[in-house]
Homo-oligomer: A and B are copies of this chain.
Amino acid sequence: MIPSVEALRTTLDGRFAEVRTDVRDQMAKFRPVRPGLSVEEYRERVLELIHELAATGRPHAGFAPEYGGQGDVGGVVAAFMALGYGDLSLLVKAGVQWGLFGGAVQVLGTSRHHDKYLRRIMDGDLLGCFAMTETGHGSDVQHLRTTATYDLTTREFVIDTPEPGARKDYIGNAARDGQMAVVFAQLITAGVSHGVHAFLVPIRVDGEPAPGVEIGDCGHKAGLNGVDNGRLTFHQVRVPREALLNHFADVAEDGTYSSSIENENRRFFTMLGTLVRGRISVAGGAGSAAQKALTLAIRYGERRRQFSDPATGQEVAVLDYRAHQRKLLPALATTYALAFAQDDLIADMDRIQRPGAAPVESEQRELENRAAGLKAIATWHATHTIQTCREACGGAGYLSENMLPQLKADTDVFTTFEGDNTVLLQLLAKGLLGDYGKRVGALSPLGLARFAGGQALESVAERTGANKLPHRVRRLTPRSREAQRALIADRAEHLLAGVARRLRPALRKGADQFGIFNAAQDHLLEAARAHVDRIVVDAFVAGIARTPDPAVRALLEKVCDLHALSVIERDRAWFLEHGRLTASESRAVTAAVNDLCAELRPHARLLVDGFGIPESWLACPLLDDPAPTTAGSDPVPDLVG
């Protein structure tokens, strides 16, 4: 029972299938950007595309209905993802304009900003920047150095770059096109600093830098050269008091500071949290890019033949080699798994952030943590997968005409922008530890002692090799979904409990907090990764359960097996070290991955076609006329002779 491509695509398109179909249709008409353009030509072309995109009305959908939008928070991210099948500079510039810049004005601003700017932002008439990162501070944004000092005499804020390290850096839309910027700066009034706030600052007037604004150009980059990243230095730039995006905090005319959120730390994270959409979008864009790379490599791998089968004299398609399957098919399975996790993320964001939704802080925090973790895992997966796909296409994969080079170069920065992946995993771990602390803290003193004792016992059992395993992970049947999930979940829990135990001494007075944290940092990051593994496999399982088509379900069950077992195989050293798998069980996992690769090989083309990437965005010489298939040489006798 083989599913239809349409049924598979509908399943993958998930809850936002309609939007995705629309965007595919719209974008199929866009003329692709040819490779090898100069930076200036490429920027010019992407700017044209931004205006074409604005003209479709599509970017408006994410904004508030009062201003002509539809408040379709989820749909706009799904649409953004579909853009990822095309030109990634357009994707990123659109993300800067409507997601970051427009999004900040929408959620951090109030009606005074919305009335004045939202419509022009949606229409692409007012192009803007999101000026957060500074040369000296990228990850640690709470300690940015740019200042916004309230001047009581003129009722203005003075935006200033006090030192070279405080220069805004890598800012999209800054080098060429941006007219305004949302600038993040330390708000100071009456000599008191209230932490980082956002201000709307004009940076260009009639195409020239605004007075006091010094604009630099980041120049040529590894990729995304259609985006004009630049640097902003502010020399005592004056903006009216109303330039403060005052949804969460305000400064009165007399300089009095007020905020609905008392705690400065909490206020900062609440402001940042509203911007979670950026990370979710990047995770989605990475997914689209990985899908496109896999589509190219798998279609090429079916056509490309090299060396012949001595039995038939026919040259063998490279995708029929186990080593080639091993490179591409587990990555394909994980790409499917991530698509389901991403769909959940968007749906939850849509539910939590849709205009009129009642904000529940714990839900918002969970969403932020999950977005941080998924963004890290999805972007690393994309970087790794695209690299593998490039290599799987040999020399052809190195030519720009075959699109893989640009996919690779453009997405590379996804691992470090919108939050460096390592820092994001740390953020997730922090959230998990907080939740864990609450769970443990809720135990009675007796329960706590038992809990701690249990941990210690388990630790002894591991050291001595005496297995005290839960029944469920005994005698692993690799294809048992229950066993797969139990292993992955158990690992996540165990790692988290372990790192909590290791960090506890840091709470003691006089403890070497940095030393304790640092010694456990690898453990901490591993716990976060394991948590994401768990979320992803759970999302895949739930997605299959929602699928009505039995043929799709049957195929996806195998894909899910391959994903889950690849994850277990990757971490099998841990499972062995912790007595979760015996040596023979571990080897059975590897054997099952091999078997699944062979079983899914005949469906590889169907699986990539299921992504539904328009043919016009895939057209390249790599997929042109098949290479001749007459007899070549025969590697086998040589190898065994």
Q: Are the C-beta atoms of A306 and B405 separated by less than 8 Å? A: no
The interface-forming segment of A139-147, A332-340, A541-549, A553-561 is A139-147
Residue of B nearest to A393 (CB): B416
Q: Check A565 for interface membership: any CB of B closer than 8 A.
A: no
CB atoms of B525 and A395 under 8 A apart: no
Q: Which residues of B contact A462 (CB under 8 A)?
A: 583-584
Question: In this assembly, does A4 line the interface, its C-beta being within 8 Å of a C-beta of chain B?
Answer: no
* Residues of A within 8 A of B (CB-CB), count: 110
User: Are A429 and B639 interface neighbours, CB within 8 A?
Assistant: yes
Pairwise interchain contact A138-B522, C-beta atoms closer than 8 A: no
A222 to B390, Cβ gap below 8 A?
A: yes
- Kindly state the separation between the CA atoms of A218 and B576 in the bound complex, as whole angstroms: 49
* A20-28, A48-56, A286-294, A407-415: which lies at the interface: A407-415
> Which residue in B142, B416, B429, B434 is a CB contact (below 8 Å) of A394?
B416
Instruction: Report the bound CA distance from A462 to B582 in whole Å.
Output: 11
Q: Which residues of B contact A507 (CB under 8 A)?
A: 640-641
Q: Are A583 and B579 in contact (CB under 8 A)?
A: yes
**Residue A165 CB within 8 A of the other chain:** yes
The yes or no answer to A169 lying at the interface (CB within 8 A) is: yes
Which residues of chain B are within 8 angstroms of A306 by Cβ–Cβ distance? 137-140
Give Cα distance in the complex from A399 to B133, angstroms: 15
Evaluate contact between A387 and B390: CB separation under 8 angstroms. Answer: no
A320 vs B517: C-alpha distance when bound (angstroms): 12
Say yes or no: A582 contacts B465, CB within 8 Å.
yes
**Proximity bits, A610-641, B CB within 8 Å = 1, else 0:** 00000000000000010110011101111111
> What is the minimal beta-carbon distance from A586 to any residue of chain B, in angstroms?
5
CB proximity to B under 8 Å, residues A222-240? 222-223
Are A416 and B387 in contact (CB-based, < 8 A)? no
User: Within the oligomer, what is the number of copies of this chain?
Assistant: 2
Q: Which residues of A550-607 are within 8 A (CB) of B? A: 572-573, 576-579, 582-584, 586-587, 594
Q: Is the CB of B640 within 8 A of A222?
A: no
Q: Are B395 and A412 in contact, with the CB atoms below 8 A?
A: no
CB <8 Å contact, B412 and A222: no
Query: Is A445 engaged at the interface, CB distance under 8 Å to the other chain?
Result: no
* B138–A394 touching, CB < 8 Å: yes
Residue among A221, A463, A503, A506 with the most chain B CB within 10 A? A221
Say whether B632 contacts A221, CB under 8 Å.
Answer: no
- Contacting B at CB under 8 A, from A137-167, are 137-140, 142-143, 145, 163-165
- Least CB distance from A188 to B in Å reads 17
Residues A165 and B504 in contact in the complex (CB < 8 Å), given A409-B222, A513-B640, A522-B323: no
Would B583 and A426 count as touching, CB distance under 8 A?
no
Please indicate the chain B residues that have their CB under 8 angstroms from the CB of A578 in the complex. Answer: 583
A451 touches B (CB below 8 Å): no
| A415 touches which of B35, B309, B391, B625 (Cβ 8 Å) | B391
Verify if A430 is at the interface (C-beta below 8 Å from B).
yes
Does the CB pair A398–B383 fall under 8 Å? no
A309 touches B514 (CB 8 A): yes
Select one of B138, B413, B576 contacting A583, CB under 8 A.
B576
- The residues in A between 148 and 194 inclusive whose CB is less than 8 angstroms from any CB of B are 163-165, 169-170
* Residue in chain B with minimal CB distance to A397: B416
Quote the shortest CB–CB distance from A507 to chain B (angstroms): 6
Instruction: Taking A405-B409, A578-B583 as given, write out 7 further A-B residue pairs in contact, using a Cβ cutoff of 8 Å, ordered by the A residue number.
Output: A35-B220, A311-B514, A391-B416, A408-B412, A437-B641, A503-B639, A573-B573
Enumerate 16 A-B pairs (CB-CB under 8 Å) in ascending A order: A38-B38, A219-B400, A222-B408, A222-B409, A310-B513, A391-B416, A394-B416, A430-B638, A503-B639, A506-B636, A507-B640, A513-B637, A513-B640, A524-B639, A573-B573, A579-B583
